[in-house]
Amino acid sequence: MRFEYSENNEGLIRRLNELVSSGGISHAYIIEGDSWLDKTSFAETFAKGIFCPKGLGENCGDCGMCDKIDHGNCEDLVYVRPEASGNVKDENIETMQEVIKTRPFGKRHVVIIENADHMTLRAQNRLLKTLEEPPGDTVIILLSENIENLTPTVRSRCVRFHINHLGSEKYDHMMQTAEDLIEMFGRKAGFFEVMLKINDIIRDKESISALLDCMEVTYRNMLVDQGGRVTAYSPEDLTEKIYLIEEASTDIRMNVSPASAIKNLIIKIGG
């Protein structure tokens, strides 16, 4: 499969390729990424990998099927798009459910839900029924900027992928910085030591947002690994830290200065 942003997402693309070509396609995915990333085209590329008649995972890009997807007229590819308000409503999900109940032209329907994190609670509850018992081989792809807006039951039904927006080298550096910070918090390092560590990135909104993402991923991994690994934190501690990081990310999105958002976070999380 060929993807946009491929230079930053080798790991993700390798996993998608493997699972599509091995036929191990799940019924539901969440593709997460910042608002400015074109998640729809990422999902369409994924859909090509599933639909392309040259073989699963092929996504040749120039057969009739790939061409139809490019032109937005593939009958089996169903879009759920938000209303003008930005929300995805109950009725939008209902309409999609009617479509996927019908027989697909090919082997299956693939559904792309844009702004899935803006589904109303009713819409999410309705979607849940489809996630629990999807008709045939239907694949549902939820596109999301802020996964926390999805109910835990919806999240638990989906395989989750995250699109990075950093080059892999920068991403590795950010991941290392996140791990260093977490280690510092663990030994209750002083505020200034922590600030010194991030001194070079603190004014840059994009870098700070990326750092917060990396910290969240690290804490989430600790939460998932809890069974197999000894950490100093209880699941409640980790959940609290993840919550604080998400709060800081939201603040930055709401135009709080990255420097003060991160200072607040350090005081709350490290204290």
The interface region with Zn ion, picked from 59-67, 85-93, 113-121, 165-173 by CB under 5 A, is 59-67
Using rule CB under 5 A, residue 238 touches Zn ion: no
The interface region with Zn ion, picked from 6-14, 30-38, 65-73, 87-95 by CB under 5 A, is 65-73
The interface region with Zn ion, picked from 53-61, 82-90, 99-107, 251-259 by CB under 5 A, is 53-61
CA gap 91, 96 in Å, rounded: 9
End-to-end CA distance of the chain: give it in Å, rounded: 46
Using rule CB under 5 A, residue 52 touches Zn ion: yes
Q: Which of 19, 21, 60, 97 binds Zn ion (CB under 5 A)?
A: 60
Q: Indicate the residue among 63 and 256 with the shorter CB distance to Zn ion.
A: 63
Total interface residues for Zn ion by CB under 5 A: 4
CA gap 246, 209 in Å, rounded: 10
CB of 135 to Zn ion, least distance (A): 25
CA gap 135, 151 in Å, rounded: 22
CB of 65 to Zn ion, least distance (A): 5
Query: If phi over 0 gives left and psi between -120 and 50 gives alpha, with beta otherwise, what is residue 166?
Result: beta
Which burial class, exposed, middle or buried, applies to 158 when counting CB atoms under 10 A from its CB (0-12, 13-18, 19+)? buried
Q: Restricting to residues 155-174, which ones interact with Zn ion according to CB under 5 A? A: none
Q: Indicate the residue among 49 and 270 with the shorter CB distance to Zn ion.
A: 49
Asked if 20 contacts 50 with a C-beta cutoff of 8 angstroms, the reply is: yes
Using rule CB under 5 A, residue 106 touches Zn ion: no
- Residue whose pair of structure tokens reads 């596109």 in the numeric block: 143
Q: Indicate the residue among 63 and 159 with the shorter CB distance to Zn ion.
A: 63
Q: Which of 19, 63, 99, 147 binds Zn ion (CB under 5 A)?
A: 63
CA gap 107, 52 in Å, rounded: 11
Asked if 248 contacts 254 with a C-beta cutoff of 8 angstroms, the reply is: no
CB of 235 to Zn ion, least distance (A): 45
Contacts of 15 (CB under 8 A, 6+ apart): 161
Q: Which of 66, 142, 214, 265 binds Zn ion (CB under 5 A)?
A: 66
* β-bridge partners, 12: none
Q: Indicate the residue among 60 and 128 with the shorter CB distance to Zn ion.
A: 60
CA gap 237, 235 in Å, rounded: 5
The interface region with Zn ion, picked from 63-71, 126-134, 178-186, 217-225 by CB under 5 A, is 63-71
Interface with Zn ion (CB under 5 A): 52, 60, 63, 66
